[in-house]
Every structure is written in C-alpha cells, then in structure tokens.
C-alpha cells in the first residue's frame, strides 16, 4: 500500500486541473497581452480564474494578483510593503513560528536597517496577543502572521490580531500567510482586517509554480518585479496562463461543492489517527488536536528515535511523511517552531509531521499506525544502545 501523508509539502494535482493545463498548452497558448483572438482567449481564462478566486475570498477580482507561488507572494507582501512605507517607519512585527519564506525576507529587511520584532508564542504555537500589544509603536508599518502553522497545525488568532493592529493604527499593513489554511478553512480577508493574504496553488491540488496575493484595494505596496507592466504594473512578466487557469479549477473543486462535508471528514480522520497513535508507547502529539487546530496537520514526537531514520523506515513501507517543513530541508537544523513552543529538547529531532488531504482514507492511517507499532521497538533498540 502507498500512503502519501505529506500533503502540507505538496498535493497531487487534480485530474480536472491537469486537463485544463493541457488544454491551455495545446489550444489557448496565446499571450494574454496580445491584441488578437489568441491573446483575448488567454486573457479570458486568466480573468475567469481570478473571478473564481475572488468569489472564494468574497473580494473583488482586481484585488487578486497572480504569482509563482507562496514564496513570491510572501516576499512581495513583506518587501513590497516595507519599501513602500519606509518613510513612515521601519518597524515590523512577525510571529516567531513563521515559514522560511517569511523569515528570510525579514532577515533581508533587517540587513537594510529595518527593526524586526519576533512575537512570542505559547506551548501550542499561538501568538501571544499581549506581546503584540506591547510591541506596537509609532514606527510600526507591517504586522505579518501565518494563519495555520505548517509544522504543528496551530490556527493563529488572525482575526484578533487584525483587530488589535487596526485599532492601534489603521495605517499599519496587516499580512496573513494563508498558504496552509486556504482550501482547508473558509477564508474572508476582510473578516481578518487583512490588507494582504498569500496563497500557494500546489497546496490545494493545483499546479506547482502558481499562487496569488490578495491585495486589498488601496493598500500601500510596491512591486518587486519590474518589466512590461503586466497585472496593472504590480507584477511584470507574461502571465502563466496554464497555471492561472489550473489554479482556478483547483479552487473551484475545493470551495464550490460540499466544502463543509469535506472539512468534517478531514477532522474525523485526524481524530482517528491521533487516538490510535497516542496509544503507542513514548509517543506525544504536539499542540492542539481539536477543531481549534488545522484539519489536516498532525505533529507527533517519538521518543528515542531520530525523525529522519523513522521517516525513511516508513518510506520503505510506502508511507510518505515529513520531518517538518519541506522548505526547511534547504536550511538544515532543528525546527525553530518546535523550539519556540518549548518542546522538550530530547524530542526536537524526533518529530514527524503527518498531513492529510480530502482523499486520505482511514485504511491508510491504520496501515501507518501498524507500521509504527512494528518499527518503533526495533529503531529504539538501536538508538538506546
């Protein structure tokens, strides 16, 4: 049996998405900027995808900017906002459990003289709202926080953060990284008071190399890619028509039919797996495990077993999981998220992430638990020696 339980790293592209991408490459291959029918057909597909996304967010299509994925969306939100607002101040607040596509732009801005304040989190990975209030000041120009933590599945209090930020100063730009939450939760940026919101296509059964940034109308932000002035000058470069159209199909498949039922099923699967894996000796499930957490992410620590060793042992049985964020493999080291929540240091290198999708089955999860029952005693025997 093959069990793919690494859906927070990437998802299998939906058949309907593949069909749309192939159609665009074979038939609707025009440049959206061209002034002939082939160009108009391509432009229409891009606009239709934008309308689908806007409907899911309850925003205007003009507030959706296509990007190459979550990393670019986060970079544009953070760097574009910082550069556009530098005369007003150079102070930025960000949670201490962010993805590297947020951390690295922050480190870059710090090298340019910006002051970055990393907000504390509790043992469940939730941002400390009192710490947020204490650190807002007249120089603050941007607050950035992820919606769902990619390693633990904590759902951050993004609505409360938005209310605090805007009550303090409505001119502060508020960015939400929704890369792990879009497609898993219903998201309306205006309810968060968010000015910017990042999404990645390959996390929701869309093509890799696709994504978008929601930019609330009149938000003060400047481009970070210059050229031919496409997308109203905010992101130059010929639009990825197959990617945009495919992303629109992926969004439609998730949000336009039985979304609540699919979400309920994910939570039921998560509860089933947590109950089973928690019965294994010397195993700890990290963070919140109820509907206060993400429906698809489960962080589990296995005492006296190195995460990478267990990962490959599971792989031998056709089970694919992660030892953290897939992107963090390019920056080896212990998880800063797990350190931030105060996880026992002995477990930092013994934690795996299991992440589900709407097609995950109970049978796959039971098979995984049985594999763990078999592998853990053997691996611990070698470790304890």
Catalytic annotation, residues: 327
Please state, in angstroms and rounded to a whole number, the distance separating the CA atoms of residues 322 and 200.
19
Are 19 and 205 a contacting pair, CB within 8 Å? no
Please state, in angstroms and rounded to a whole number, the distance separating the CA atoms of residues 218 and 25.
35
Are 245 and 251 a contacting pair, CB within 8 Å? no
Q: What is the DSSP letter of 79?
A: I
Are 296 and 147 a contacting pair, CB within 8 Å? no
Give how far Cα 249 sits from Cα of 48, 171, 265, 283, Å.
10, 35, 22, 40
Structure tokens at 198: 């990042």
Hey, is 154 helix, strand or coil?
Answer: strand
Please state, in angstroms and rounded to a whole number, the distance separating the CA atoms of residues 223 and 230.
11
* Strand runs labelled E in the chain: 3-4, 64-67, 91-95, 115-119, 140-146, 173-177, 196-200, 211-215, 283-286, 297-302, 319-320, 351-355
Strand-by-strand arrangement of the 351-355 sheet: 283-286, 297-302, 351-355
Structure tokens at 382: 């070698």
Close Cβ partners of 329 (under 8 Å, ≥ 6 residues apart): none
């Amino acid at each position: 049996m093959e069990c793919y339980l690494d859906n927070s790293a990437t998802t299998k592209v939906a058949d309907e998405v593949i069909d749309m991408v192939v159609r665009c490459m074979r038939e609707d291959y025009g440049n959206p900027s061209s002034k002939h029918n082939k160009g108009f057909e391509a432009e229409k597909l891009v606009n239709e995808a934008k309308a689908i996304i806007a409907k899911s967010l309850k925003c205007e299509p003009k507030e959706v900017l296509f990007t190459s994925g979550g990393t670019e969306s986060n970079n544009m939100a953070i760097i574009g906002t910082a550069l556009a607002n530098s005369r007003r101040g150079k102070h930025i607040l960000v949670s201490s459990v962010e993805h590297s596509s947020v951390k690295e732009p922050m480190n870059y801005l710090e090298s340019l003289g910006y002051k970055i304040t990393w907000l504390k989190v509790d043992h469940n990975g939730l941002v400390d709202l009192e710490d947020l209030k204490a650190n807002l000041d007249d120089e603050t120009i941007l607050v950035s926080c992820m919606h769902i933590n990619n390693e633990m599945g904590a759902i951050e209090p993004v609505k409360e953060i938005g209310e605090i930020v805007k009550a303090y100063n409505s001119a502060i730009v508020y960015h939400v990284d929704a890369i792990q939450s879009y497609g898993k939760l219903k998201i309306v940026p205006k309810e968060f008071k968010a000015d910017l919101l990042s999404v990645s296509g390959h996390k929701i059964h869309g093509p890799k190399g696709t994504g978008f940034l929601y930019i609330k109308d009149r938000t003060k932000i400047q481009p970070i890619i210059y050229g031919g002035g496409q997308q109203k000058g905010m992101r130059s470069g010929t639009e990825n028509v197959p990617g945009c159209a495919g992303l629109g199909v992926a969004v439609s498949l998730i949000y336009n039919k039985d979304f609540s039922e699919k979400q309920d099923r994910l939570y039921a699967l998560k509860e089933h797996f947590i109950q089973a894996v928690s019965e294994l000796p010397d195993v700890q499930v990290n963070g919140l495990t109820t509907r206060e957490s993400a429906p698809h992410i489960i962080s589990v620590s296995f005492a006296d077993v190195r995460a990478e060793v267990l990962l490959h042992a599971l792989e031998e049985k056709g089970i694919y999981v992660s030892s953290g964020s897939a992107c963090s493999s390019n920056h080896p080291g212990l998880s800063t998220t797990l350190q931030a929540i105060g996880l026992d240091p002995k477990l930092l290198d013994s934690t795996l992430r299991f992440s589900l999708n709407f097609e995950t089955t109970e049978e796959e999860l039971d098979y995984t638990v049985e594999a763990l029952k078999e592998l853990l005693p053997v691996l611990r025997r070698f470790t304890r020696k």
